Amino acid sequence: MSPEQKEKALLIESQAEKLLDQVNELLDLARAGKGMLDLQIQQLDLSGFVQIVSQPFRELAAEKNIDFTLNDNSENTPCWIDSNKMEKVLSNLLSNAVKFTPEGGMIEFNVSVISDDVSGLPFSNADGWIRFSISDNGPGIAPELHEKIFDRFYRCSDEATARMPGSGIGLSVVKEFSELHKGHVKLFSEPGRGSIFTVFIPAGNNWFDKSQLRSSGGEKPRRTPESVIYKPAIEEESDPGSAEGRILIVEDDNELRKFLVRFFKPDYKVFSAADGKKGLELARREFPDLIISDIQMPEMDGIEMCAALKSDVETSHIPLILLTARVDDKSLIAGLKAGADDYIRKPFDIEELELRVNNIVARTKLLHEKFAASPLTTASGLQSVDQRFMEKLLKCCETNYSNPGFDADLFTDELNVSLSTLHRKMKTICGTTPREFLKNYRLQKAYEMISAQSGSVSEIAFLCGFENLSYFARIFKEKFDILPSDIISK
């Protein structure tokens, strides 16, 4: 198996594991809701369990430059838990903390064994309580949402949450699996001040039926599910390749972004970014021919990025395809209103995405041919910013085509754009340079005037800005495959 095949196989395995974890989690929730989910209670070393569960999240926090502190005051304390289910409880809370805590922020994970009078719970346990507390300095949660966020599939509609990936079942798992352990979950959070999630489970095994107790085997937690761990997007270097076409991939899922880069690399120079903010910066620096972007991303989502690009005359001409995992049409409508040229729903067939890319490339080619055949044609089917740009360009040509001193570089003053922006936009929209476009415009005007017999060839050539008659006749013949004098003689 080649290295590329191995990489693809690992990607398939990783995605399959993620999907399986999500299915199993949904099945467990369904069973718990019907009272059909059994606990497998074993005695474990609490400190060792906490160390194993928290390790991957300490590493992920380090990648975001987050200060992760573990305060474990449970040394040599035995606990009776279903290690698999309690691991999911803690992993979901730690994953959310890493997900919503900004770079340079802090997360604190406190573990302790407390007595009844300290717990503040409305029920008592003679053996006391094991308390897991996870705090962060993320965006916080509004008080009116403190109950709703534990409902299945509920997702906060605030800006920070909407940008983040998630299925809306993580906190329902936390609540239901904690309650299966005869425990309780508390939340303290205020917008702008972070959140503290605290899970209490009874110390000792008096709360569990004998049928739920298993012999102590020191079982370690299983692999933390892929669907639970939030992995911050890792920026890899873009791979420009050697092709002429340029594509920008903006996607926060590391594996999908890498897959798309590999797929388009043979035919395009490919650049990539892990969120909308970096994608916008890259688009303004590299000016790709096409952008493929996810909608739901941190920092800046795909719709915001699209709106920023399409409202800027320097980038409004760049076609953009949106990818979305959302099942509602609101985000798609918002994307199209922002100026997106196309969209595709996840999961998608890569052949469908390739076809949509090819269709956009084909439409661009047809537009180039249209302007090449008739530069006097009124622009249509363009984004509003580009439509206005072309209307101004054609008006400028109409006003100045008879002036032999008017050079294409003077378009910059008339259109209020830089020379580099002028060349880039005209190359993208018209498939030609400003100078070539102006020359073709003058030739088309001359052709129409000669066909209408509005004067002699020399008069018309001069009226269209050509001072050299032999040069005019030569380029006229090159474009229309006929001499201007032959049109008059017909």
Q: Which of 189, 207, 225 is the last residue of a domain?
A: 207
Please give the backbone phi and psi of residue 42, each rounded to the nearest 5 degrees, phi first.
Answer: -135, 155
Q: What is the pLDDT of residue 157?
A: 57
Question: Is residue 213 in some structural domain?
Answer: no
Based on the fold, state whether residues 271 and 309 are members of the same structural domain: yes
Based on the fold, state whether residues 55 and 198 are members of the same structural domain: yes
Question: Is residue 135 in some structural domain?
Answer: yes
CA 46, CA 236: separation in Å to the nearest integer? 38
Indicate the burial class of 35 (C-beta count within 10 angstroms; 0-12, 13-18, 19 or more): exposed
Based on the fold, state whether residues 484 and 413 are members of the same structural domain: yes
Q: Tell me which H or E stretch contains 249.
A: strand 246-250
Based on the fold, state whether residues 346 and 423 are members of the same structural domain: no
CA dihedral 33, 34, 36, 38 (to 10 degrees): 30
Between residues 466 and 168, the one the model is more confident about:
466
Q: What is the pLDDT of residue 227?
A: 46
- Domain count of the chain? 3
pLDDT per residue as tens digits for the range 195-205: 999 999 888 77
Residues of the chain with pLDDT > 90, as a percent, come to: 27
CA 149, CA 172: separation in Å to the nearest integer? 8
Based on the fold, state whether residues 195 and 326 are members of the same structural domain: no
Strands 290-294 and 320-324: what pairing? Answer: parallel
Between residues 58 and 16, the one the model is more confident about:
58
The whole model's pTM is what? 0.60
Q: Residue 103: which CATH number?
A: 3.30.565.10
pLDDT per residue as tens digits for the range 306-359: 999 998 888 888 999 999 876 567 777 888 888 898 989 888 889 999 999 999
Comparing C-alpha atoms, which of 232, 229, 231 is closest to residue 94?
229
Find the domain containing 400 and state its range.
374-489
Query: What does DSSP assign to residue 409?
Result: G
What Å distances lie between residue 117 and 121, 123, 128, 146, 209, CA to CA?
8, 10, 9, 24, 25
Q: Tell me which H or E stretch contains 245.
A: none
Question: Is residue 217 in some structural domain?
Answer: no
Q: Given a cut of 90, is residue 273 above it in pLDDT?
A: yes
Q: Residue 300: which CATH number?
A: 3.40.50.2300
If one counts every other C-beta atom within 10 angstroms of the C-beta of residue 103, the result is 10
Based on the fold, state whether residues 170 and 261 are members of the same structural domain: no
Q: Which of 207, 227, 254 is the last residue of a domain?
A: 207
CA 485, CA 490: separation in Å to the nearest integer? 9
